[in-house]
Structure 1
Amino acid sequence: MTIRVGLAAILGMVLLAGGAVAAQERGRVTDLPLPRFVSLKSSEGNVRRGPGLSHRIDWVFKRRNMPLQITAEYGHWRRVQDRDGAGGWMHYSLLSGVRTVLVEAEDVALYRSPSAESRIMARAERGVIARLGECNPDWCRIVAQGQKGWVPKAVLWGVSPDDLRQ
């Protein structure tokens, strides 16, 4: 009997520990998952050293719809980073929940369906920003400059490997 109770207690601790690891961190302000992807709403966005107007501007992001990753929240400020890990604090009004991605491979085919065996509808060059659509475990549907198609998730920045979207 004690062996069963001991095994049950150990199993319970393992499940609790696994649940704690699996639980995703949430933002203190929005209660949304952290990290998460967003996009730059405007054509320019100041990136500050800290969360507030009194902090120095380190640089300015200048690509409208550029995907960014939010890693922290403080009041109306969000700590963001780009695909290179460069970032800082931006006011939330400069960010949009519209999901976009950045094509990271040199010449990416956009397929009619989520299969490399399907017809190629268009091609995208490295650095193209596209609107993110549906995603399955390996593929995402994107729209870039009026062209639509499915691309392997691995060639995109702005989507997590475990992102599933309908």
Structure 2
Amino acid sequence: MNKNPKNPALNLVIGVALGCISVITNSDIANQIALAKSIKPQNCDVFAYVIDKNPQGLNVRSGASINHKILGQIPINETVKMIATAGDWVQITDASDGFPGTGWVFGPKLGISTRGYGTNGVDLYASASQKSRKIGKIPSNVSVKLLGCRGDWARVEYQGVKGWLKKEDRCAAALTTCS
């Protein structure tokens, strides 16, 4: 009786399974390396307000992902200072209420609105410079989707158009106007 039978089909299945495990493991490591390289924080100095309607508040984390520890929460409509952005994540500090320190929040949970009171709106720029091309106008006193920041410029989206708002054209107060 043969104690070590050769079964080519079984060997093939085992080989394919081990190969798949290796590819999955290596792909996950490669994705993590690529993600770490692609998320280089960009410094900024922009105020925004919390639009997250979660009754517990917006989670503030120790790093730029949901895998990082929750440090605290910030209630809806509270103002924060954005000091860096990395992908969809924003590093904040100086919350008007709630969280007293510095941490990371998911950027789409923050908002801003336009100023431009008494005018026909504010200009939207193609890049974070007044020398860049104006790509549109946004009406006064409207909420815009916040996409990120660079320096004291905010990257926003309004009615499907993405561009940059200068400091003078933004309002970071959720419940009052910035006149």
TM-score, scaled to structure 2: 0.38
The higher relative CO (CA closer than 8 Å, separation ≥ 6) is in 2
> Is the helix fraction higher in 1 or 2?
2
The higher radius of gyration belongs to 2
